[in-house]
């Protein structure tokens, strides 16, 4: 049995807590982001939110090819509902489009997620891509746990970035596939 280091224990607790309260967190992120328009405190709220996105919980945009490479490198994959669309209901895009990976499969087990094969996951990615949904990989602390395939009208990281100026909620990293692979190997 693999022994967890302190960082992994923290992540498991943080991710487990987030997983248990995910819809509340998503609503809170958007509610708090609205404070960015308040004079005097807006800039502070934006700065704190950007710091949290980097150190706590944020996303990275993916191309279809990068998302497929990550799927190929993932040890386990499960398919479940997109939380952003479940909470905000701003469109009629398919809800079953979130792919949890690695540690995420344990945290989200039993929450409408089912294990799927890599080929099934690639099919989900391609169908999402055809619908012009955005692929992003989500990270909690130092651990990647899901590929989201979301729309711009419901996606919380996209909305935080585009509407509230919280630019680091969703960023681009050309080395994201290698980062994911390093995180999987523990180095």
pLDDT digits 0-9 by tens, 103-122: 777 777 767 899 999 999 99
Partners of residue 79 on adjacent β-strands: 99, 114
CA distance 48 to 46: 6
Q: Where are the beta strands (DSSP E) in the chain?
A: 57-62, 77-81, 96-101, 114-115, 134-140, 143-150, 170-172
- Give the residue with greater pLDDT, 13 vs 163: 163
The pLDDT score that the predictor gives to residue 10 is 43
Distance CA 159, CA 154 (A): 7
Under DSSP, the state recorded for 111 is S
Considering only CA atoms, which of 101, 29, 31, 37 is closest in space to residue 69? Answer: 101
List all residues 6 or more positions away from 186 whose beta carbon is below 8 Å from its beta carbon: none
Q: What is the distance of C-alpha 183 from the center of its chain? A: 15
Q: What is the pTM of this model?
A: 0.86
Q: Tell me which residue has tokens 């497929």.
A: 68
Are residues 179 and 187 in contact, defined by beta-carbon separation less than 8 angstroms? Answer: no
Half-sphere exposure for 19 (CA within 13 Å, toward CB): 24
pLDDT digits (tens, 9 = 90+) for 49-97: 999 999 988 999 999 999 999 999 999 999 999 999 999 999 999 999 9
| Predicted local confidence at residue 12, as pLDDT | 52
């Amino acid at each position: 049995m693999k022994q967890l280091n302190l960082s992994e224990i923290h992540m498991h607790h943080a991710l487990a807590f987030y997983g248990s309260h995910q819809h509340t967190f998503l609503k809170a992120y958007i509610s708090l982001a609205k404070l960015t328009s308040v004079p005097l405190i807006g800039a502070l709220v934006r700065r704190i939110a950007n710091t949290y996105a980097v150190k706590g919980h944020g996303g990275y945009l993916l191309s279809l090819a990068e998302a497929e490479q990550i799927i190929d490198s993932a040890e386990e994959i499960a398919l479940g509902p997109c939380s952003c669309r479940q909470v905000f209901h701003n469109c009629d895009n398919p809800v079953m489009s979130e792919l949890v990976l690695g540690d995420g499969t344990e945290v989200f087990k039993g929450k409408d997620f089912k294990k799927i094969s890599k080929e099934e996951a690639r099919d989900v990615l391609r169908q999402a891509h055809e619908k012009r949904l955005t692929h992003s990989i989500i990270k909690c602390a130092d651990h990647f746990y899901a590929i989201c395939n979301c729309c711009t009208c419901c996606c919380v990281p996209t909305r935080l970035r585009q509407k509230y100026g919280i630019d680091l909620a969703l960023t681009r990293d050309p080395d994201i596939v290698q980062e994911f692979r390093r995180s999987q190997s523990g180095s």
